[in-house]
Structures are given as structure tokens and as C-alpha cells.
A and B are shown apart, each in its own frame.
Chain A
Amino acid sequence: MQPAERSPARGPRVDPYGFERPEDFDYAAYEEFLSAYLVVLTRRALKWSRLLQENGGLNRTSTVKRYVRKGIPLEHRAHVWLAVSGAQAWMERNPGYYQRLLQGEEGKSELEEAIRTDLNRTFPDNVKFRKTAQPCLQKALFNVLLAYGLHNRSVGYCQGMNFIAGYLILITKNEEESFWLLDALIGRILPDYYSPAMLGLKMDQEVLAELTVLRIWDCLFNEGSKIIFRVALTLIKQHQAFILEATSVPDICDKFKQITSGSFVMECHTFMQKVFSEPGSLSMTTITRLRENCRAALLAQR
């Protein structure tokens, strides 16, 4: 990834993805982190180019898993996400499907209304999503969400999907690819789980540093939803004592917000290493079993 031009005193106000940096952004710490991280990025970039040259199709091998866990270079990110999530295959099997969804007329109005309510409320801190931006990504966002709501009518539009789709558009710069990646996430990677999972994803996107979010998403597309648990557990474990200081619910929520910022999450490379070591082994079998139990308990409460 290219660091944008920086003045020696302060870095750019807007990051490479178009997000405005917060007032209290620690430029010095970021600078220090980035200078070390650039070395990693360069090494990874070389390794990835080699891997992609050898390997026409990306399979979910242990090599790919290892590579993904160490981060996908920005220039390959869209391509790799599409490949490992299966979105590419779905897109190729259904040519023109995305466009046809948007051309149809049926049952759109309510969905359109719900999506429109949130257009101005998606990444207001990102210059590319401003009404005044040229081009303005709000239109692409609207299309992708509308198509998805028509495609998966049982889900329709759920708040939170706007941020996910927004991120996909920023990375792929392509509506149709964003649509199929969204389908991979909501339809397969986070199946039947979209509402609570959205909360976790939103947390990732809104609060964690962008670089870290993308590193998490690299693994999410490749390994599935258990990465979300790994991230959450790592954060909680790291800040256990701090969280326990809370004396009320608002306090707890505040503390959870605070633990998603700072150098611990900004240094994405170290953070991701912790994510895979701190929580220890976490098998999908365990998660599936726990999910089954919780589902039964929730259904019984109704």
C-alpha cells in the first residue's frame, strides 16, 4: 500500500481510503508504526506476486491460509477476496444477474426507502461518500444494497450492511464484485446470523483502524466467521482489568468502545499475530455447538 503524501509535521487529514482522520489521531505513533509496517508490506507483496504467478486459481490451501493471515497486499485484495470466498465463481456462473436485479420493478419501494434513510448516514467521515464527491459512491452503495435486498428477500436490508457494502465498494471499486462479496459474507460466511454479527462487523469498521479492519476481513473471507470471535476475545483478554472497572452498563459500553482504539489495534500486524495466538485454539466445531445451544435457548425464550 502506498502511504499518501505526508507533510513532515502532520500526516494527511484523509487516509488512503477517503476516511477523515479523527481530531486526536496520533500521527507520530502512526508514522512510527508505518515505517516498520512498510517493510512487512514489501516482503508480503513480493511473496504474494510469486504465489499468484505460480497458482492461477487460488485454493484454500494451508499456504494460502498462512499468507492471508499475514495480510493481503492492497493491490491483490479484491482479487483474493473474490477467489477465496467463492464470490468469483458465483459471479461467473450468473452473468448479468446483478444488472437484471436492478432493472426489475417488483417490490422495490419499501426497500428503497429503508436504504435511502441510511445513505447519508454511511461513512459521513469518508470524503468519497459525501453528496458533493465526484464521483459520489452513494449511488453505487444504493445499487449494491438494493440488488442484494432483491436477491435475498428474507434478509432484505438490515442496518449495518451499508457499512459492509461501503467497504467492499472502496476496495473493489466495482459494484458487481461488491454485490457478490456481500452475498458471500451474508449468505454463506455469516449465514443466518446477520443481525448480531452486524454489530461485531460494525465495531470492526467504525472503530478499529482501517488497516486492521482489512486484515481482519482478509481472514474473514478465507476462514469464515470464527475470526470475529478471535478478534473479540483478543480485545477482551487484553483489556480484561480495564473492563472490570466498569460499574454500570453505559460504563461497560464506553469501555468496549475505548478498547477498540489506540496503538494495540493500530499496529495491525502485531494485532493479527495476537488474534491467532491469544485465544488459543478455537475450533469451528465448538462454535457451531455453542451456537446451537444459544439458538435453542433463544427460541425457548420467545
Chain B
Amino acid sequence: MAETYDFLFKFLVIGSAGTGKSCLLHQFIENKFKQDSNHTIGVEFGSRVVNVGGKTVKLQIWDTAGQERFRSVTRSYYRGAAGALLVYDITSRETYNSLAAWLTDARTLASPNIVVILCGNKKDLDPEREVTFLEASRFAQENELMFLETSALTGENVEEAFLKCARTILNKIDSGELDPERMGSGIQYGDASLRQLRQPRSAQAVTPQPCGC
């Protein structure tokens, strides 16, 4: 891989089934809407190198299955994530109501410092809306989340959501609030790293699972 970048961030996409997580990822990576897709089983991956504030950052995105009972499986992928898109569907109150549970999982299993952006997806289906912008932005404020309404169909705010999350992480690195060298930070230095740091292997997000069954 001859890709050069300053940092690598591990991102999660989480939220209830059918909210459009995989479609958001697809839109971000391919710049188009994924028309016919299977639901996700376990986890899928995507990655893209982006430019944020003069730095090149590789986002390694872990897209998870949303069905409640798969949570016991997907939770094991959270470890060491630096950022997350927490997705609900603006036309489904049920998916909004389960946000608190997803958030708890992210903060306890990934890291208490994980940078989370709340995404109210399917913005294009405004006539069927069940959750208002105001209500969700209040929830975001109370829980210290960033917030955007997105549409994986039209692409509106999709790129912005990922970039906003990445930018916030970079700011926190600059201010010293996040230490990339701390184990499980979800951040790795890339080859083009400004510092002459050999990437400590121990800081990798990859932690082998004790048992596959």
C-alpha cells in the first residue's frame, strides 16, 4: 500500500436496523446512493483518505449490523474507535428512542472520549418525518454530540458528517486533549507523519478476540 497520510482514524457507524448506515458509508466512499443492498451482517469496512485542516487523514470506517440481537457481536468491534456516526432515521421514532443505548455502548466500549456525531438520516423523506430537528438537536446538546441531518439518497451533509467528526478529532489532538499514542485511542500515525515517530504497534486498534465462538 503506497498510501500516504498523516493519521489513521478508526470510525464506527452505529444505530438501529434500517436507518441507512451502510448507505451513508457508500455515499461517502463512492459518491452515489446504493440502490439495492443487503442488510449488513456483522461488520463491513470502508476507507477513504480525506484532507482536513491541511492534514491527510485516512478514515477506516467500521460499518455495523443494526439489529438489536447482533449487538452482542458488533460490540466487540467498538474497541479503540476514535470517532462514530450515530445514525437514526428521522421517519422512525423507534430508531430515535434507542439512541441513548447506542451511545452508552459507544462510550463504554470504545472510549469515553470518542467523538460522536449524531446523524438524522433520510432527510429527503421530510413528509414522513417523526422526529423534529429541534428535538434531536436538544438531545445532541444534552449528550455533547455534534448533530446533522443527512440524506444518503441525495448526499446532503454526508461528507460533512464524516469531515466534521475528523476535524474535531484533529483539534483535540492539537489541543492535547487526545493523545494519539495512548493505547486504544483509535488514532495511528501514518507514513507521512510529521513527527519522526515509528508507529507503535501496541497503539493499533486491532485486538485479537480471545475466542471466535
Contact = CB atoms under 8 A, between A and B. Distances in A.
B18 interface: yes
B47 A250 contact: yes
A121 B35 CA distance: 10
A163 to B, nearest CB: 8
A82 to B, nearest CB: 27
A123 B39 CA distance: 10
A195 B45 CA distance: 21
A75 interface: no
A248 B206 contact: yes
A290 B69 CA distance: 23
Q: Select the residue from A114, A118, A250 with max chain B CB neighbours within 10 A.
A: A250
Q: How large is the interface on A (under 10, 10 to 19, 20 to 34, 35 or more residues)?
A: 20 to 34
A250 B39 contact: no
B73 A196 contact: yes
A225 interface: no
Given A125-B36, A158-B67, A159-B67, A199 B45 contact: no
Decide if the interface of chain A is mainly helix, strand, loop or mixed: helix
B36 A159 contact: no
Interface stretch (A62-70, A98-106, A144-152, A291-299): A291-299
Contact of B17 (A123, A159, A206, A253): A159
B73 A159 contact: no
Contact of B45 (A122, A159, A254): A254
A199 B39 contact: no
A291 B37 contact: no
A166 B140 CA distance: 40
Contacts of B39: 117-118, 121, 159
A199 B37 contact: no
B41 to A, nearest CB: 5
Q: Select the residue from B41, B65, B211 with max chain A CB neighbours within 10 A.
A: B41
Given A248-B206, A250-B60, A159 B213 contact: no
Contacts of A198: 41
A124 interface: yes
A298 B213 contact: yes
Q: Select the residue from B43, B70, B210 with max chain A CB neighbours within 10 A.
A: B70
B34 to A, nearest CB: 10
Contact of B41 (A124, A199, A298): A199
A217 to B, nearest CB: 18
A290 B67 CA distance: 28
Nearest to B39: A121
A124 B36 contact: yes
Interface in A236-271: 248-250, 253-254
B47 A195 contact: no
Contact of B213 (A158, A250, A254, A291): A291
A253 B70 contact: no
B38 A199 contact: no
A118 B39 CA distance: 7
Contacts of B47: 250
A249 B38 CA distance: 22
A73 interface: no
Interface in A139-190: 158-160
Contacts of A117: 17-18, 39
A213 to B, nearest CB: 15
B42 interface: yes
Nearest to B1: A247
A88 B42 CA distance: 33
B213 A124 contact: no
A179 to B, nearest CB: 21
A79 interface: no
Interface in B51-85: 60, 62, 65, 67, 69-70, 72-73
Given A196-B213, A298-B211, A298-B213, 15 more contacts: A114-B17, A121-B38, A125-B36, A158-B69, A159-B17, A159-B67, A195-B69, A195-B70, A202-B41, A250-B45, A253-B43, A253-B45, A290-B213, A294-B211, A294-B213
Interface of A: 114, 117-118, 121-125, 158-160, 195-196, 198-199, 202, 206, 248-250, 253-254, 290-291, 294, 297-298
Q: Which 5 A-B pairs have the closest CB atoms?
A: A124-B36, A294-B213, A250-B45, A117-B18, A121-B39
9 contacts: A114-B67, A118-B18, A118-B39, A198-B41, A248-B204, A248-B206, A249-B205, A254-B45, A297-B211
